[in-house]
Amino acid sequence: MSYHIQDVLKSVRDTAPESRTTTDDIIAQAGRIRTRRTAATVLSGAAVFAALAITAVTTLDAPSGGGQAAAQPLPQASSAAFPEPQKSALPVRKVDFTTKLAGYRTGAYRVGPVSRITEGYAVLPVYQDNADQDGIRDGEITVYNKGVYDPALFGGTLGDTTLVIGDQYSTKVAGRPALGQDWTFKSPVQADKQWLRAALAWQYADNSWATFLPNYGKKDISRADVVKVAAGLTTAAKRELKVPYTLSYVPEGWQTVAVDQVSATSSPVVSQVWLHHGPVQDSATRIDEVLPDSLKILVMKGDPKDSDIVGKDGVHCYPELPSCTIIDGGYTIDVGGWNNSLSVDEVRKVAEGIKPLDYADQSTWVPANK
């Protein structure tokens, strides 16, 4: 289920995961968000780690979605948790959400299609056959635009009792420079269970890099397999990621900085969009739930976590929180986020300005910048 800020309030009286979520599942989610961010960029500050834990407690598998550290206590919500609304508009820089990257298959691995585009990179999910992952990604390839990624940033550093990160080594992909690292994921409940999953950064063109970062999973991913997956990177006709609604209101100075589009057969979360106060200054920045000054619009097939509004079509906003949920038949749209820095009234205006299209027919979807 998607993260919803209302869960923070409810966690005061109910912090346990749902019964269908095992300890292994929780730790798996932790690995997804932690390893993806630490290997792509340098993290610092306890506040970021706390935000990751908050996000992950209530997140199931979303496209490019994250996880959590098991049994992390959630802080009580307070007015200090929500920044004061921005008072001055920033210049908008329109982002092109098109790509020529294509999905492909290499041996037991299915890659793509592209599920996320930002100004600086595109993301392709990676699935391993017979991995017993229930449709959850085994990892992600992030293809950075020319000059965006610094390979010196590659390499996880935040290992713990469930993740052992090996030394970095040099290798080649199609004759070009590459860096690898072994990540050993350990079961938190079965001490004798562990899986080695290789991570990789490689130069796919001059001054252009891509990374493969594995998620927690119960099947090995060898160094040789990762090199083969990386070498298969390919292109096709240009494709634009789109959204299942139009927006009649966007706060002044805010813009779309990331778009997710995923088939309903791969995930219940079919669309995610991040609005941001002005452009993201560093195009290599990982765009996720902890991005400051951002507002996420998430569309999923299924019911919201707030049982009070299940089955009640319409816009539901929370007077004390900058967060709204739209119920539309069998679909839920969450508008909010931990770091959105907008007022309650502004978030309500965004939510009320969403005009849904046909969620199930992605051919009817429209460009995010329309």
pLDDT at res. 340: 65
Residue 232 maps to a domain: yes
The answer to whether residues 219 and 327 belong to one domain is no
Residue 93 maps to a domain: no
Residue 197 maps to a domain: yes
The answer to whether residues 247 and 293 belong to one domain is yes
The answer to whether residues 256 and 159 belong to one domain is no
Residue 1 maps to a domain: no
CA 305 to chain centre: 19
What's the mean pLDDT when you consider all of the chain?
80
Rounded Cα–Cα distance for residues 68 and 83 (Å): 23
The answer to whether residues 230 and 247 belong to one domain is no
The answer to whether residues 213 and 276 belong to one domain is no
The answer to whether residues 226 and 248 belong to one domain is no
pLDDT at res. 157: 65
| Cβ pair 295, 164 in contact under 8 A | no
Domain final residue, candidates 196, 218, 239: 239
Q: How many CB atoms lie within 10 A of CB 253?
A: 14
pLDDT at res. 330: 95
The answer to whether residues 248 and 306 belong to one domain is yes
Rounded Cα–Cα distance for residues 299 and 63 (Å): 11
CB burial of residue 230 (10 Å; 0-12, 13-18, 19+): buried
Give the DSSP H or E segment for 122. Answer: strand 121-128
Domain final residue, candidates 239, 271, 302: 239
> What are the beta bridge partners of residue 327?
314, 332
Residue 266 maps to a domain: yes
The answer to whether residues 122 and 210 belong to one domain is yes
**pLDDT tens digits, 110-134:** 999 999 999 999 999 999 987 666 6
| Cis before 113? omega within 30 | yes
Domain final residue, candidates 79, 110, 130: 79
Residue 88 maps to a domain: no
pTM of the model: 0.78
pLDDT at res. 218: 86
Residue 91 maps to a domain: no
CATH code where residue 312 lies:
3.30.200.100
C-alpha closest to that of 251 among 116, 171, 345: 345
**212: which residues sit within 8 A by CB, 6+ positions away?**
126, 139, 140, 141, 198, 199, 200, 201, 226, 229, 230
**pLDDT tens digits, 23-75:** 444 444 444 444 444 444 333 333 333 333 333 333 334 454 433 332 222 23
The answer to whether residues 75 and 103 belong to one domain is no
State how many domains the chain has: 3
The answer to whether residues 231 and 260 belong to one domain is no
Residue in the structure block whose two tokens are 């329109």 = 94
Rounded Cα–Cα distance for residues 44 and 106 (Å): 36
| Cβ pair 277, 257 in contact under 8 A | no
C-alpha closest to that of 115 among 206, 297, 242: 242
Residue 92 maps to a domain: no
| Cβ pair 231, 225 in contact under 8 A | no
pLDDT at res. 343: 92
pLDDT at res. 134: 63
Q: What do you get for the CA distance between the two ends of the chain, in Å?
A: 28
Q: Which residues of the chain have pLDDT under 50?
A: 1-62, 64-87
The answer to whether residues 175 and 146 belong to one domain is yes
Rounded Cα–Cα distance for residues 289 and 281 (Å): 17
pLDDT at res. 370: 72
167 lies in which domain range?
A: 98-239
What is the DSSP annotation of 231-292? HT-EEEEEEE-EESEEES---TTEEEEEEEE--TTT-SEEEEEEEEES--SSTT---STT-T
> Hey, what amino acid is at 38?
T
The answer to whether residues 189 and 261 belong to one domain is no
